[in-house]
Amino acid sequence: MEPYHRGELAVQNRAGLREMAKAVSAAIMTEIPHAAQAFLAEQPVLFIGAANRRGEVWSSLLTGDPGFITVSGPSSVSVAATLSDSDPLYRTLAEPARLGMIAIEPGTRRRMRMNGTARPAQDGLEIELEQIYANCPKYIQKRVPHWQSATPDDPLEGSGLTPEDITLVHSTDTFFIASADTVGNADASHRGGNPGFLKALGPNHLRWPDYVGNSMFNTLGNLEVNPRAGLLIPDWTTGTLLHLTGTASVDWDPDHVAALPGAQRVVDFTVEKLVRVGHASPLRWSAPQFSRFNPPTE
């Protein structure tokens, strides 16, 4: 059975990486391997993405003491955490939803991606998985987590980036992107690079280089068939979360690509709505040890 949908296949073919994508598709599993069970049990955070009833795609995170993610079956996990009512995915996860997830351990630069259907449970979520696979460690900045109690600020909503938001964008070395195919199957992914790799070209326009990856093109394949996307930009020092939703497009123009070091393609994101919540996450991270794979920025 073909593991990729038509959007992923189209991007793989355009990039000339179809054969490589076929080879790495063997890593996509339907059952959770033993090593992944141990990895998940050690994680304090799970990054997620989903589409709401209006088709808007948002990205967020769930946190808890290690052990809050547990394997409950060969292809299922329980997550003992909930979102606050200020989170843009709060209502979406109050009912069954297609959910994309990625667990990242910055201290070891390991990550695992999972996609499936989440259902609300007594203390969080029960998730039936359809795809489980590890990702390469490229572009993950090495960090050490710690906890800091804080009361989330009231959410601030808007339709464009403020100067404060733009400062966060230009200083970030890590963000997360959620996407979905035409029927709502969601995916969550990580993007990393040296500060400055994510640029704000205006209050409603972000741009970043698409670096060499695993050749599956899960995110770009979704964007090929559904341009809706959501970004999560965390401030690791304060726990502030900047959630953005809008549309994304892939720019293959060789002149535009050549202008960004290390880029294979360029992604443009149009901000339609944003939610910023100060001190939303109790998880903090140390200063980064940048990945040796990060291309230079201008």
Helix (H, G, I), strand (E, B) or coil at 290: coil
Res. 76: pLDDT tops 90: yes
What b/e readout covers 33-47, taking b as 16+ CB neighbours within 10 angstroms?
eeebeebbeebbbbb
Check residue 150 and give its pLDDT: 78
Flag whether pLDDT at 298 surpasses 80: no
pLDDT at 251: 98
Mean pLDDT of 94-120: 95
The answer, yes or no, to whether residue 78 has pLDDT greater than 90, is yes
Q: Summarize the confidence of residues 74-82 as an average pLDDT.
A: 96
Give tens-digit pLDDT for 19-71.
Answer: 999 999 988 999 999 989 999 999 999 999 999 999 999 999 999 999 999 99
Indicate whether 1 pLDDT > 80: no
Mean model confidence pLDDT for the chain: 95
Find tokens 């003491």 and name the residue. 65
Query: What are the chain's domains?
Result: 6-285 (2.30.110.10)
What's residue 2's pLDDT? Answer: 82
Q: How many helices (H) and strands (E) does the chain have?
A: 6, 17
Instruction: Indicate whether 210 pLDDT > 80.
Output: yes
What's the pLDDT score for residue 149?
A: 84
Prediction pTM value: 0.97
Pull the structure tokens for residue 130: 């359809």
CB atoms within 10 A of CB 122: 6
Q: What is the mean pLDDT of residues 112-134?
A: 95
What pLDDT was estimated at residue 135?
Answer: 78
DSSP H/E element including 18: helix 18-24
Q: Check residue 7 and give left, alpha or beta (phi > 0: left; psi -120 to 50: alpha).
A: alpha
224-249 per-position pLDDT tens digit: 999 999 999 999 999 999 999 999 99
Contact (CB, 8 A) for 147 and 64: no
245, 128 Cβ separation under 8 angstroms: no
